Chain A
Amino acid sequence: MRLNRSVREGLTDLLLAGPATAVMVLLIFLPVGIVAVLSFTDYQFGAASFRWVGWDNYRAILADPFGRRALVNTLTYAAITIPASISLGLLVAIGLHGLTRHQPRLAAVLRAVYFLPVAATLVAMAVAWQMILHPTLGLVNQALGAAGLEGPSWLSDRALVIWTLAAIGIWQSVGYNMVLFLAGLAAIPPHLYDAAAVDGADRPWDRFWTVTWPMLGPVTLFVTVVTATSAFRVFETVATLTQGGPAFASDVLVYAIYREGFVYFKAGHASALTMVFFALVLLFTALKFRVLETQVHYR
């Protein structure tokens, strides 16, 4: 028996996309659904029963000064990390791209060095950072001490801690962004620069502004989305280095979710926080695609 063409194509589509879709529904959409349901209950982790509490959990998040603190800290962290790690990633990529022509070997070594933080486990790296930033024993403050200065408590000063964590976040993501930008730079056809030169754009800045930057549009969009989502999801460094402290000064959304759910055992409250976080990231991603898509040049 031969099926007609459209049925066969439909079956092929189903065969190709079906398993992945089923797994996604089972492992992502279903749990999100359960979390959404739990967010309207007072369920305590491990308890035998729960009660429907309507929007109480959401109201509690807005009323709680520490809930707002976690939100503000997350936004601050993202506002520092996103622009810094994208622009540094681009700078390093342009530098290495230029260096490849004169010193290919050195460029390869530097590329590996910049990429190391991405390949390393962030938790292990966090422990190394803790030693380097130790207020008395750490390399940084020992060096400052030798110069006669008393270094700050990088990870336990309430005004400083979110900046320190952001710096570690930038250090960790620059290498990844660099690799993506390098791929983007390598894909720019050289004849475009020749054409630009014919039109009078032959100074470095003109070349960058009229050819490189527009041609990097799709890569930049991708890098921005990836960097932003990972900035909003910051967790490992906070959990290993500060546990949200001192006095909630480095509390961020994902850590607050973990704390409410697995330290305080308030699963209902944690679920509501998760839904807020989910909505924020979704909103931000949609916004970025809206704004940036219109300005990106595809070939």
Chain B
Amino acid sequence: MKQSLNATVAAALVGLAATAAHAETAIRVHYGIPTIWAATQEALAEAFMAENPDITVVIDGPAESYEEGVQRLLREAVAGTLPDVAFVGLNLWRVLEARGLAQPLDPLMGDKAAFMAEGFGPAVRLGTFNDTTYALGVSASTLMIYANPTLVAQAGGSMDAFPETWDGLIELAAKIDALGPTIDGIWLQRHDWRFQSLLGSYGGRPMTPDESDITFDDAAGLAAAALFHRFSQEAGMKTYGTNEARQAFPAGTLGIMLESSSLLTRFLQGAGNKFEIALKRIPINADPASVYFPTGGSGLVMLTTDPTQQAAAWRYMRFVTSPEGAKIIVETTGYAPTNAVVVADEAYLADFYAANPAVRPAHEQIADFAGPWYAYPGAEGVAVTDLIAAALVDISDGGAEPDATVKALAETLRTRLGMR
């Protein structure tokens, strides 16, 4: 028995109906995380309006985080006051797609293959599910190795001979950890995205392409889970929370940290003159053709269903993902671009790379191996990511046996996600 929510809510929300007055050519844009995006959003809107004087871009007050942003969009959907376009986390646009709020973009692209060939390919791939595109990726980040060269040198290593295998990295981390009681060797968050990243470095995938079965209980998944075990058992990885680790690394008490490339700007500011931060790529343990790194960052979704608004919104989305828009985003946020032309043509970002040499490996890893951040399907999709994190905690400091834990976890997920 299906109940019409609209009728129920309409009755409950009488008097709360907001009146959203749309000017003919005004589009409302939603975004989150103002600490990273505020200046960027204004620069994008300004540059767009200079080129398109017939459209006014109105920016909504930002949400503090992507999660909070999606909550707000869902509330606005119920109240009928959705913005026309929204910047959302790359792991969260599926929430909007599952509720029929994110509009399919294929009809607006015209010839999709030609559109992708123009340089929009990476942006389209980050927002596509089941051959339909619902989002355009606008900024990208992958898991990287951050190293503190001072501590590495104290432990007898060097950045020139930095280990390129997990064995070497764990050995180095153990030596750094032994330097003192308030010095730590290595840290990695026990978290779904981090697990997917290590899984991808072994050529594994979390699910089958049609999302009908879990596949991380294969050899690649067991190897990835074993790393969490080895980091804590062999290199003394502490049970830090994320905030604590993000304070410890720039403070210079943590030798090696595996984190998102998007944190580089913040870490550089935090470390100041204390030490030079070095960024290294994640070791590859499989045929490069099968390797991928799940991409964090944000994408643009279209929420308006009105054809006139859609046409204006599409022009804005196209602008933001164009080389010109990508250049603004990279220069103001430090995120990697999602436009292939910007990556291929040095002319766009040469000045930026000259001023920020440390960021180069992150952009190269994304250009080589960027892949989707798998979102688990259905109502339990977000909930199971916390089960994955809990299993990784069991493996790393509960002393649980990695193989058995990962296999049991996969079984739990199959049940929770209704895959049988």
Contacts and interface: CB of A to CB of B under 8 A. Distances in A.
A93 to B, nearest CB: 36
Contacts of A158: 239, 393, 397-398
Nearest to B6: A48
A247 B394 contact: yes
A254 to B, nearest CB: 17
A44 B379 contact: yes
A62 B112 CA distance: 49
Interface string B70-100: 0101110110000000000000000100011
A153 B240 contact: yes
A265 B74 contact: yes
Interface string A34-76: 1000000111111111111000000000000000000000000
Given A49-B5, A134-B244, A135-B238, A246 B190 contact: yes
Interface string A112-151: 0000000000000000001100111100011001000010
B4 A49 contact: yes
B397 to A, nearest CB: 8
Interface residues of B, number: 45
17 contacts: A45-B74, A46-B77, A47-B5, A50-B3, A50-B5, A51-B1, A134-B244, A135-B248, A137-B253, A142-B182, A156-B239, A158-B398, A246-B190, A246-B239, A247-B390, A265-B379, A266-B383
B190 A136 contact: no
Contacts of B73: 46
A69 B33 CA distance: 32
Interface in A14-28: none
Contacts of A248: 386, 390
A262 interface: yes
Interface of A: 34, 41-52, 130-131, 134-137, 141-142, 145, 150, 153, 155-158, 241-243, 245-248, 259-260, 262-266
B95 to A, nearest CB: 7
A137 B274 CA distance: 15
Q: Which 6 A-B pairs have the closest CB atoms?
A: A46-B74, A247-B393, A247-B390, A156-B239, A264-B383, A136-B182
Contacts of B182: 136-137, 141-142, 145
Contacts of A46: 73-75, 77-78, 95, 99, 101
B190 A130 contact: no
Given A136-B184, A247-B390, A157 B78 contact: no
A42 B390 CA distance: 25
A66 to B, nearest CB: 8
Given A46-B77, A47-B5, A135-B244, A245 B389 contact: yes
Given A134-B247, A156-B239, A248-B390, A47 B184 contact: no
B240 A264 contact: no
B382 interface: yes
A136 B253 contact: yes
Given A137-B248, A264-B380, 10 more contacts: A48-B99, A48-B100, A50-B2, A51-B3, A136-B184, A136-B253, A155-B241, A155-B244, A263-B67, A264-B382
B269 interface: no
Interface string B52-77: 00000000000000010001011101
Contacts of A137: 182, 247-248, 251, 253
A142 B71 CA distance: 40
A216 to B, nearest CB: 41
B156 interface: no
A153 B100 contact: no
Contacts of B393: 158, 245-247
A47 B74 CA distance: 8
Contacts of A263: 67, 382
Nearest to A246: B393
Interface of B: 1-6, 12, 67, 71, 73-75, 77-78, 95, 99-101, 181-184, 190, 238-241, 243-244, 247-248, 251, 253-254, 379-380, 382-383, 386, 389-390, 393-394, 397-398
Contacts of A157: 239
A50 B380 CA distance: 16
Contacts of A131: 247
A134 B248 contact: yes
Chain B CB within 10 A, most for which of A131, A155, A247: A247
B239 A136 contact: no
Nearest to B3: A50
A271 to B, nearest CB: 14
Contacts of A45: 71, 74
B386 to A, nearest CB: 8
Contacts of B244: 130, 134-135, 155-156
Contacts of B398: 158, 247
Contacts of B243: 130
A49 B2 contact: yes
Given A34-B12, A156-B239, A247-B394, A262 B248 contact: no
Given A157-B239, A248-B390, A264-B383, A49 B3 contact: yes
Contacts of B12: 34
A241 B243 CA distance: 9
Contact of B241 (A49, A242, A259, A260): A242
Nearest to A245: B241
Contacts of B78: 46
Chain A CB within 10 A, most for which of B2, B95, B182, B238: B182
A150 B393 CA distance: 21
A102 to B, nearest CB: 44
B356 to A, nearest CB: 27
Contacts of B239: 153, 156-158, 246
Chain A CB within 10 A, most for which of B67, B397, B398: B397
A171 to B, nearest CB: 20
Nearest to A134: B244
Nearest to B241: A156
Nearest to A30: B12
A265 B95 contact: yes
Chain A CB within 10 A, most for which of B239, B254, B383, B390: B239
Chain B CB within 10 A, most for which of A48, A51, A52, A155: A48
B402 to A, nearest CB: 15
A41 B4 CA distance: 13
B195 to A, nearest CB: 14
Nearest to A160: B239
A151 to B, nearest CB: 9
